[in-house]
Chains A and B, each alone.
Chain A
Amino acid sequence: MSQEWKFTTKDIAEKPDLFLSGHRACAGCGPATVLRLIMKAVRGPTIVTNATGCMEVVSSIYPYTSWATPWLHTAFETAGANAAGIEAAIKILKKKGRIKQEQIDVIALAGDGGTYDIGIQALSGAVERGHDFLYVLYDNEAYMNTGIQRSGGTPLGASTTTSPAGTVIPGKLEPKKPIADIMVAHDMPYVATAAPYYWRDLITKVRKGLEVNGPAFLHVFAPCPRGWRSDPAKSIELSRLAVETCMFPLWEAADGEYQLSAPSKVVALSPQKKKPVKEYLEVQGRFRHLFTPKFEKMVDEIQRITDEKWQRLLKRCGVKLST
């Protein structure tokens, strides 16, 4: 592993934005911040390919573009396949002496729609073939761009337009698909989770993913105030709460070796820092129905499942809690 990139806050703040202002994302958009931060971690010539979704649409309304890097959008399912095609083309054109750059990084960007569900085949195939690229999943936990419909990444109990909380059913009844664990099971060089509040951790992981030889997968938590019916001002704070409640723990797995990241380690080692899931759920309109007498038992269920998954993760990361 090459020397870890050391950077100061000023270094990052001074780096020019490659994801330009003037995009049409909602005020307070979590994914937009995530994208800005990801592009700050770029280390040289980079080509970005984006699946259909919020970030693709808001950044490429013809004739305007928010991309200072070469950027390609083709379809919803194809982030992984696009990255494969671009990476293979770069490889062969370099061999034939038709590309002058020494190294061109390829980043595939997709939302939870284009990753968990319709895009999982292309992602899995590209990873299996070992293409050298970084796949970043910006997870706002539903098909936000088309109107907040549920995805495989929508968490248990969340109300979406295709899993609405009604009088009989309390939102989505299925748990969130463990996409990052699925990617670790691909025996791939690098998998990590990140959240925008912990920007230093996020940027470090993006850079690690770019530096790795072969495929890398980064699962980034990206709150959506519109879809989650949360305060636009709290989008970054929500990402912190998600980590502190262990609903979205931060870890990385280099060659399958799980390692808990600092922000989650803090929670693991100081149990008083672990917040109850209620604190995270109650500030989001999509979970509002869980605070009615009929469905309040679900909050306990969510707490139980969260704790179980947390314990399993701690075991994988080899973190022993002092009892």
Chain B
Amino acid sequence: MTSQEKSWKEVSPAGVCWKPSTEFLTGDWKTYKPIRDLEKCTRCLLCVLFCPDGAIHWKPEKEDIEFDYDFCKGCGICANECPTNAIEMKLE
């Protein structure tokens, strides 16, 4: 982190941020990891909507859901809300 930090001459006025947070991976926060049972999953997409971190994506080209473990914090909301209990939180 330190080698990339900018000097006072280089920072933008008003603290304008120059990195999107998508470069900051929060996936290592989790203790439990959501694992999906592909057969139970009805692709209702509730998990996609409810994830606080936007770590579950609907991929229309694959017509399937994808979990982004780089950002998943393991909160378990997806598992709790899944109407068919297709998601299980497993210890990492």
Contacts and interface: CB of A to CB of B under 8 A. Distances in A.
Do A and B come into direct contact in the complex, CB within 8 Å? yes
5 contacts: A9-B49, A22-B23, A23-B21, A25-B53, A36-B49
B59 to A, nearest CB: 9
Given A9-B44, A21-B22, 15 more contacts: A9-B46, A10-B45, A12-B49, A13-B48, A14-B58, A17-B54, A22-B20, A23-B26, A27-B75, A28-B73, A32-B52, A37-B49, A62-B17, A63-B17, A236-B50
B36 interface: no
Given A14-B60, A22-B22, A23-B53, A65 B17 contact: yes
A59 B21 CA distance: 8
Contacts, number: 117
B81 A236 contact: yes
Chain A, interface size: which category? 35 or more
B48 A232 contact: no
A234 B79 CA distance: 10
A24 B19 contact: no
Contact of A33 (B29, B30, B74, B77): B77
Interface of B: 6, 15, 17-26, 29-30, 44-46, 48-55, 58, 60, 68, 71, 73-77, 79-81, 89
Contacts of B68: 21
Contacts of A36: 49, 51-52, 54
Interface of A: 9-10, 12-14, 17, 19-30, 32-33, 36-37, 59-60, 62-66, 68, 196, 199, 225, 231-237
B58 A33 contact: no
Nearest to B76: A233
Residue of B18, B30, B75 with most partner-chain A CB within 10 A: B75
Contacts of A68: 20
Contacts of A33: 49-52, 77
Contacts of A22: 20-26, 53, 71
Residue of B23, B30, B55, B80 with most partner-chain A CB within 10 A: B80
Given A13-B49, A21-B21, A22-B22, A28 B55 contact: no
A60 B21 CA distance: 8
Contacts of B79: 233
Contacts of B81: 236-237
A60 B14 CA distance: 12
Contact of A21 (B6, B46, B53, B89): B53
A59 B75 CA distance: 18
Contacts of A66: 20-21
Contacts of B18: 63
B49 to A, nearest CB: 5
B49 A64 contact: no
A11 B15 CA distance: 35
B43 to A, nearest CB: 9
A22 B55 CA distance: 9
Nearest to A234: B80
Contact of A232 (B6, B19, B75): B75
Contacts of B54: 17, 19-21, 36
Contacts of A14: 58, 60
B19 A65 contact: yes
A21 to B, nearest CB: 4
B37 to A, nearest CB: 17
Which 3 residue pairs of A and B lie closest in terms of their CB atoms, listed nearest first?
A: A233-B76, A22-B21, A28-B75
Contact of A13 (B15, B24, B58, B77): B58
